[in-house]
Chains A and B, each alone.
Chain A
Amino acid sequence: MPYVMPAVMRNIDVMGSTMGSRKEFADMVEFVTKKQLKPVVSRVVRGINDMDALDSLFADMQQGKQFGKLVVEIPKEGESSKL
């Protein structure tokens, strides 16, 4: 933990926050619907048959290339997935 004295000397709160409650989840989704907000999707891979394609999403994340979320679309059985 880096030296926090500059924060302390200014009466600044340093807080941790991780995830959220079921109630916060509901509130968040309601806000997104009400304000018509759209999460940014960086790239989509379609299908769960091609491990290399799925690996490429993880590679984007590891290299910090993404701007937004990396998503896998999972087609219904019988639909062809692009290989």
Chain B
Amino acid sequence: MPAGISIRKIDGKPSEVYYPLERITFSSPSPSPTQVKIRISAAALNHRDLFIRQHLYPGISFGIPLLADGCGTVIDTGSDSSAKKWMGKRVILNPGTGWKDSPDGPEEKGGYKIMGGTKTNPLGTLVEELVIDASECEEAPPHLSDAEAAALPLTGLTAWRALSKTQRGQPGKNILVTGIGGGVALMALMFGSAAGAKVYVSSGDEAKLQKAKELGAAGGVNYKEEGWEKKLPEMVEGGKLDAIIDGAGGEIIVKGARLLKVRKRFFEVTVPY
């Protein structure tokens, strides 16, 4: 029987408790006609997984495997051609269900259901084997290792949508991405730069700022320094930003407003709920 990792219930209050990890085994069903069975090779953490262990997340479940990000190889399929075409392929998984293509948000009434550790979705990727609908698979980009491919789905998706919504991922635009080091921020830096924009970053850690510049950041500011918001306009051509992508909230909304061109965009990329 395949093994996986879930959390184990212990007593404690939300934010004080820290649920231990537990190795579990479970029976892996045969795929239905439109499903595939995947031998998972790598799975990645997201902040929600930490919040789940701290009971700072809604709908947590003990016994459902953790994690939403996964890469693996299809080892069995259902009879439908939509499933059979995946046999033997290396895939990465759509990290949640319930949202097909609406620009506004999930179409399904229950909302978006992310894999890993909660009642809303029976699947999680920190497992040896997983059975899932074939439509949730994408071919793993061939140039990526298993670990790099597993690192892509949730943060890549979140950064992609956030950047698209700014409509500022284009040459000549200046974007600030705060908290570089986090997965979503790094993907936003990568996507923004690849789209031709100049992406500036912030961090409280000088080493992270340096690494970000090596990855193509146009400049960086240390938000622990008093007056960082005065240093940034000096780095930016034209002195003003076109968009800010921020995952933490707080004072960035006030300070950021003064850094942005009038009538430009500002974003809050939230913890997925």
Q: CB within 8 Å of B: which residues of A?
A: 1-4, 6-7, 9-29, 31-33, 35-41, 44, 48-49, 51, 54-55, 57-58, 61-62, 64, 66-74, 76-77
Contacts and interface: CB of A to CB of B under 8 A. Distances in A.
B21 A51 contact: yes
B269 interface: yes
Contacts of B249: 1-2
Given A22-B100, A39-B187, A61-B45, A76 B161 contact: no
A66 B152 contact: no
Interface of B: 3-5, 20-23, 39-45, 47, 49-50, 53, 67, 69, 92, 94-96, 99-103, 106, 112, 114, 126-128, 135-136, 138-139, 141-144, 146-148, 150-158, 160-162, 164-165, 181-183, 186-187, 190-191, 194, 207-208, 211, 215, 249-251, 253-254, 256-258, 260, 262-273
Contacts of A29: 92, 138-139, 141, 152, 156
Contacts of A10: 257, 260, 262-263
B254 A6 contact: yes
B142 A33 contact: yes
A67 B45 CA distance: 13
Contact of A71 (B43, B92, B160, B269): B43
- Decide if the interface of chain A is mainly helix, strand, loop or mixed: mixed
Name the residue in B21, B127, B257 with the highest tally of chain A Cβ atoms < 10 Å from its Cβ: B257
Given A16-B268, A22-B94, A37-B194, A2 B251 contact: yes
A3 B264 contact: no
A28 B160 contact: yes
Given A38-B144, A69-B151, 5 more contacts: A6-B253, A14-B267, A19-B161, A44-B42, A72-B43
